[in-house]
A = this chain, B = another copy of it.
């Protein structure tokens, strides 16, 4: 299938390579010509502007969430023709997606939101995709999704916005699961027994109730360094966790585990945390308890 692909970051490049493996014609564009060159070396047709992609009639955007998506749509609308398809495969907020879909449809084109999971490995060898939009268009592109995903790993989940909503919730669940795993190894680390984290992660990866890709990745991480001494404990977050909590607040859903997982990430980046200082000061005030002076 002839596809125009915009956005050649780590995820985008891997997805393009996967498409090429499956025999698709891919015309690629990125603000960085170096990234375009990389894709061309893999077999893609390079473009020097979005205009060169218009003929494909099918544009896959894999650009950073937020303003870049709107900017890309701004450029695409005047150069696409009625009936063409724009796909947002990135991590957009579903509210934005609903708004953009209306705009694109108002201009006579189709819009799909595709929440993409599976990490870099999935992008390269078979991802997981939750697709929102018109089910008819999704059916029409079935070959494309089938080639980009593992068997069973994609599907229509609802109208525009539903794809990104499902991806958002997926990431919220991911936050909770990762934090649960982290806590488990923290208990092992300070246990009355000396555990080999790599060995335990390996055992848990095979046959246990908690086996899965995350456990495989933990095993891989511990294989490099059982003490994880190469990194600090500062955990970044990219927005999807916050949006999940926003959605839960809007909908009145109780999500203590997902929320606490995000709050631990915030805490991990807060040194000499002010909340903790207030509590320590309070203890000192009422009980004459000592405190740890600032170092």
Contact = CB atoms under 8 A, between A and B. Distances in A.
Contacts of A293: 230-232
Contacts of A284: 221, 231
Contacts of A71: none
Given A176-B180, A230-B293, A293-B230, A155 B202 contact: yes
A47 interface: no
Interface in A187-210: 187-196, 199-200, 202-210
Given A193-B159, A231-B277, A286 B185 contact: no
A184 B272 CA distance: 16
Interface string A210-240: 1111110110110000001111111110000
Interface stretch (A35-43, A80-88, A258-266): A258-266
A119 B181 CA distance: 19
Contact of A206 (B150, B196, B246): B150
Contact of A193 (B120, B158, B248): B158
A251 B173 contact: no
Given A118-B208, A176-B257, A277-B232, A157 B294 contact: no
Contacts of A206: 128, 149-153
A247 interface: yes
15 contacts: A118-B209, A121-B286, A149-B206, A150-B207, A157-B195, A169-B191, A172-B184, A181-B279, A181-B282, A187-B248, A228-B274, A231-B281, A233-B276, A233-B279, A242-B249
Given A169-B188, A212-B212, A257-B257, 18 more contacts: A127-B207, A129-B203, A151-B206, A153-B203, A154-B207, A165-B191, A173-B180, A175-B180, A176-B257, A185-B275, A189-B274, A217-B286, A232-B293, A232-B294, A233-B276, A264-B275, A264-B276, A264-B279
Interface of A: 10, 117-122, 126-130, 132, 149-159, 161-162, 165-166, 169-170, 172-196, 199-200, 202-215, 217-218, 220-221, 228-236, 242, 244-249, 251-270, 272-295
